[in-house]
Structure 1
Amino acid sequence: MGVLVAHGPDEWAQVITESFVPLSLGSVSRTFQGSVRSSVLGPALTLTEVHTQGPSIVARTARLVRAEPRDDCLFSLHLAGEGSVLQGEREVRLPCGGGALYDTGRPYELRFPTDTRQLVLQVPRHQLHDRVGRVEDVCGRVLSADQPAVRVLAAYVCELAATCDDVIGAQRDELGAAAVDLLAIALRAAGGDGSGMPAGRAAVLSAMRAFVRDHLADPRLTPEALARRHGISLRYSAELFASEGTSPAAYIRAERLRLAHRTLTDPRYGTLTVASVAARCGFTDRTTFTRAFVREYGLPPAELRAAHSRNA
């Protein structure tokens, strides 16, 4: 995606809404200028570089949350200037070289009294939940550059922003998944042992679910490979998924179909053929993919895409 530049408050409101989630402006200087450059790292996972010149206040109000619900989290890596995030009863100052996580499903306010530069990682909630447990417990937590895990995260995200446009296909998705892994490590490190990370059987199941979601494009992802990757027997793996009312094979298939649905209805992937979408989601045979998709969603992939395009 190219760079979007805003000259003034009205343009900035439109740019940030298109780049992140619906937002409103509380206060912006008349001479304000801003720019964003977004890179897609996978379905619903993006990394956006933000530059602002002039003071500004940006809000996701309760009205916007009700009218335009979202289920993502935003991690702001603050690189220059001053800024803070207010969500709930927490106000977090954004430290240079570090940052904070906030939740688009609840109202928040971003305050920037100076020129700023940030990198913002937009992550679907479920990806963080599988890695850290209750997302509510880690939102609003300061990630200081004094912490080694945060420095590693910051270095990786900065390098990813500089190079990801040169990476295509499954490798880009893998790099995005690694960024989420590093964010989860930094969040757990900031919270200490009581960070909300699930334990025991739940931890193994969460790790397996996260691994599935991060490797859906790999056709070699099977229940046997999943169990082997986590050092457990196929029988024990089946027991873990049975506790959630499913099986390893059914979970893998459901997540692949869910990814296919998101891809087919995302205009950013409108140039991909149905066969390409199937391959990106780990299906090696289009006929098998189409049959499974019809069973799950009631119509063929091409018809779903066409219907979504007409209604957009």
Structure 2
Amino acid sequence: MLHVDVRNARQIVVHQKMAAQSRGCVQIVRDHDGELEGTTASKRFGEVRFSLVEGGPREMIRPSRLIERSADRYLRVCRPLAGEIWVFQDGQHAVARGPQLVCYDSSRPYKVIMPERFRMVTLLLPHRLMGLTSKDTDLLTAKAWHGSQGLGALMSNLLVGLEQHGEEVNTAIDILGGSVAGLAAAFFAERMRSVVAEPGVGRQALMLSIQAFIRERLADPDLSPVAVAQQHNVSLRYLQKIFHEHNTSPARWIRDERLARCRSELADPGLDHLSIAAIGERSGFYGASHFSRLFRDRYGITPREYRKGRGVTLAG
């Protein structure tokens, strides 16, 4: 059973009032990445999913009995456009109103209540893409983050912009998704540092910063684990250790990010004037045969075949 820690009488009364208002409009969330009831628009940008959700008073519950430990985990970041969002998770609670941001984690029980008619935009972000684990995210969940200054303002405005113009974006989808993930990673790193200064927290914040650094420099032929370690003032061994915690290595992560960007550019008709070799070079792969071999090893198809098929399903 989901336990909600509400710390004073006023909040208890408000909570009961909201529960009464939303009776008959309760969604039991069964999937880690399940679509929310009331979604009127949804679009994927690479591995990031954007949704616009609206409706009347509602309550969403994710009980522990429905959570599969082996499934992929996600953070959902919400930005209210109208109404309020109440999030209860990890013994904490938060109320968010525009332009604030609030998030919850699919891998642990939660309750989300909208006490009145609402409209909100959300981002669904895989843990793996963010370099986070379920253990790390309890520093981020059920907290209302400011959305009027700094990285918080950029994130808040990005969500509003996606709501207004997301459907108009039809090219470079994976690249946009990577940029959204990079901004989210930088925002989370800042939030984690502001919450508590512990070695584990510092390590995860460092991981997020490193991933954002790499994504910005994929075209640089000199990008390497050694260069990344030097830039962040850590040893190569320590860099390998923090990537190992996420079942990968710095070199593999750099390679996979480069290949994902190439895949996006090969799928973009606006870049058909570029040769296969040029597409590879734009992401740091020099030598067409080398690029083609890596792409085939990763996706089971050559870059030329993928461009020709335009939209075929890839492995991985």
Partner of 1:172: 176
- SS of 1:22's partner is coil
Instruction: Output the amino acid matched with 1:51.
Output: E
Partner of 2:47: 44
Task: Tell me, in whole angstroms, the C-alpha distance in 1 between the residues paired with 2:250 and 2:36.
Answer: 43
CA RMSD of aligned residues (A): 4.9
TM-aligned CA distance change 1:253 to 1:88, over 3 Å = same
Partner of 2:67: 65
Task: Tell me, in whole angstroms, the C-alpha distance in 2 between the residues paired with 1:96 and 1:195.
Answer: 33
TM-aligned CA distance change 1:120 to 1:204, over 3 Å = closer
2:80 aligned to 66, 78, 81, which one? 78
Alignment of 1:153-164 (within 5 A): 153-164=155-166
Partner of 1:28: none
- SS of 2:176's partner is helix
Task: Tell me, in whole angstroms, the C-alpha distance in 1 between the residues paired with 2:237 and 2:70.
Answer: 38
CA contact (8 A) 1:85 1:111 kept: yes
Normalised by the length of structure 1, the TM-score is: 0.62
2:95 aligned to 87, 93, 96, which one? 93
CA contact (8 A) 1:23 1:59 kept: no
Q: CA deviation at 1:226?
A: 7.9
Q: Percent identity?
A: 18
Instruction: Output the amino acid matched with 2:34.
Output: P
Partner of 2:21: none
Alignment of 1:106-185 (within 5 A): 106-129=108-131, 134-145=136-147, 149-167=151-169, 168-169=171-172, 172-173=176-177, 175-181=179-185, 183-184=187-188
Cα deviation digits, residues 241-296 of structure 1 (max 9, x gap): 45567875444225546x48xx79xxxx8x9x9x79x8597656664345335656
Task: Tell me, in whole angstroms, the C-alpha distance in 2 between the residues paired with 1:120 and 1:286.
Answer: 39
Which sections of structure 1, spanning at least 5 residues, go unmatched?
1-11, 26-33
Cα deviation digits, residues 209-246 of structure 1 (max 9, x gap): 4432x348x4435435982897479xx76454455678
- State yes or no: 1:220 paired with 2:223: no
- SS of 2:138's partner is helix
TM-aligned CA distance change 1:17 to 1:247, over 3 Å = closer
Instruction: Output the amino acid matched with 1:179.
Output: L
CA contact (8 A) 2:130 2:181 kept: no
Task: Tell me, in whole angstroms, the C-alpha distance in 1 between the residues paired with 2:292 and 2:175.
Answer: 25
Task: Tell me, in whole angstroms, the C-alpha distance in 2 between the residues paired with 1:197 and 1:154.
Answer: 24
Which sections of structure 2, spanning at least 5 residues, go unmatched?
1-25
Task: Tell me, in whole angstroms, the C-alpha distance in 1 between the residues paired with 2:288 and 2:61.
Answer: 44
Task: Tell me, in whole angstroms, the C-alpha distance in 2 between the residues paired with 1:51 and 1:173.
Answer: 23
Task: Tell me, in whole angstroms, the C-alpha distance in 2 between the residues paired with 1:135 and 1:153.
Answer: 18
Cα deviation digits, residues 103-147 of structure 1 (max 9, x gap): 11122222222110111111121344469x922222222214576
1:198 aligned to 189, 199, 202, which one? 202
Alignment of 1:266-281 (within 5 A): none
CA contact (8 A) 1:98 1:145 kept: yes
Instruction: Output the amino acid matched with 1:121.
Output: L
Cα deviation digits, residues 186-221 of structure 1 (max 9, x gap): 62476265696416xx86665334432x348x4435
Normalised by the length of structure 2, the TM-score is: 0.61
Instruction: Output the amino acid matched with 1:208.
Output: I
CA contact (8 A) 2:225 2:250 kept: no
Moved over 6 A (4+): 308-311
Q: CA deviation at 1:178?
A: 4.8
- State yes or no: 1:22 paired with 2:40: no
